[in-house]
Structure 1
Amino acid sequence: YTYKGKKYRHAKIVEGYRVGKKVRHRVLMNVGRIETEEDEKRARELLEALKKGEKPFLLKELKIERVKEFGLIYAARRYLEKIGMEAVIRKIFEKERRHFDLYKVFLYAGINRLYKPGSDNNFAEWLKEVWIDEKIELHHVYRMLDAVEKRKEEIEREIFRFLKKSKEIKTDLVFYDLTSTYFESSSSALAKYGYSRDEKQGKKQIVIGVILCDGLPIAHYVFEGNTVDKRTLKQTVEDLKKRFNLRRIVFVADRGIITVENLKELEENEYDYILATKRRNERLVRKLMTKPIEGSEKVCVKEVYREGNRRYILCMNKEVRKEELENLKKLRKELERFLAENKDKKDLKMKAYKKFGRAVRFIDFTSLKIDERTWNYERKIAGRYLLVTTTEMEARKVLERYKELKEVEMFFRDLKHAVNVRPIYHRKDERIRAHVFVCVLSLLIKKLIERAAGSNAVKELRRIRVSEIRAGEEDFYFVTKLTKEQKDIFDSLKIELPLKVLKK
């Protein structure tokens, strides 16, 4: 056509059809302006595609409807299926005879903690943002939690057997530690006021104990919030022996566990142990803590005492000692200033505790002076700690094994931050226990994937998404282009790459 003296070419693809004896035409597609040979070539390609029964679309007809999470869900499902862990858990859930897929709800709940941790309502909402085949309702989530709590011991035992059989873990060394996590509000019998490791005084909490083997959680325990660390050991040791059939192990734990009764408990069960002692309580420990120790290493180690099959290993970190002595020096100045400004003894202990916490032990409230005996002992033990063990390992090896307890601390850090176990909103004890189990499962998945594909794997997999695109009346689902790093992760996991285009 001509406009203002200038000729323009537009292309339409039309189809001829008969109405009686007349031939009429209908437009199948407006191709657009034809200005170059390339435009004409494209128009003819569209014509040929239509002749073959294909359905091409113009760019302006395409609409991005939404983008959904995909990569980590896909990889976790395929990887757990490949290594055989899916079959182990499914076999247990078969006993529940639910009309929906319990395993997938459990799995997705665990993966959700690695994406967008929150309440169960938030999990149900998150599922709408995820590319999955199933429709999962909120009531499915609650039924899953009930089944998980009911089958908890069996699931843990079978996963442990699977990990052991597949040589993912060695069981000669187990690490045990506890943490706490708080509630916003709860009528649960588990929720109690107690010593808060979250520094959330005034909130009810639960205490969580975890057993790790080779950095992987094999068992966890949920205790009432006012439970003292040392009271949890007997139950844990009995469980390790009965449920996991662990007969000869080295049990590694921190100083909160150690009591005379607990040492006897471990010895009666023929468990060797490596435990940290409380530095200030027992007469023997106080005596051993001040024994001479020296060496050229950054951390000096020395066996200082043996009592029957118990060996006491004294350790001193020179850098930590220097730092602690400097902190003590600053603390002394603050304490002396406080005492000089507060001559009235009335409510002095309370004021001192609010300001200095456990450091009030340095104050002699009778004379209102620094307790020099306590002060001098603290200076002597700066940077030192004492381990007790029944193993015959060389002293430095004992220290190295004890340091691996840091893995549990890192696990707790991930439990609270990476998968956000806190705060907890459930009111039923069973649901609280199941909630914790889902969080532990989440970290097990994370650690298995990262062990196989590197510490950056989960982060990279989370970046893979699916774009839902509408073309005319049809929907298409395109996986984002994979980077080399992402392809390498799938290769390390030994699972196939996702298809570029998915079907519902």
Structure 2
Amino acid sequence: MSEIGKELDALSEKGQKWSEAQLHKEINSIVGEWENYVDTRVKRKGNGPRIEWKYKSRQISASECSLGKYLLLSTDESLSPNEVIKTYFEKDFVEKVFRTLKTFEEIVPVRHRLVQRVRAYIFVCVLAFRLLADLQYRLIKILSPNGAQEQVDDLLRELERVERVQVRLGHQVKIWYLNVTRKNIETLEKMGFHDLLKETTEVDFKI
């Protein structure tokens, strides 16, 4: 608002010889969406500033009273005010679940919507989210509840780089993992996955 006042003062001096139409056009571009809070008047050509303006104090005060406030309306009359607020803020969780189900599962859409195929599709999505929820729960226990979803995303992004290598020498099979950082190992161990990316050597007599 203060910047608008400065621009109007500058225009008042600069537009001494402008027509009223020019001044009104320039005033509209300066005030813009704040026109309900600034009162302006253009004077005829003569001595002194061409534009008189002032803030609409009553409108500004009314807006300040409602700033940051909103009304929650529930059609379920059995809910208490606290329950309505709790339910409202839970929508963030639901929206993030929906985003996860629509974004991270790299499966193609159901082409022929048979019942068993739709059920299988939903099962895979829900199972994937169940694994993500468990991962988030484990991270919250060892790190912080703040930004839990971001922590999960960061860990999964780092683990995407991990590659599994398997080499067979006769009946001996050796397995190890590439691109694993010390941070990854420490985080997984704190979560209880002590042997998840551990190098192993096995004996296989099938071949």
**TM, length-normalised to structure 2:** 0.49
* Greater relative contact order structure (CA < 8 Å, 6+ sep): 1
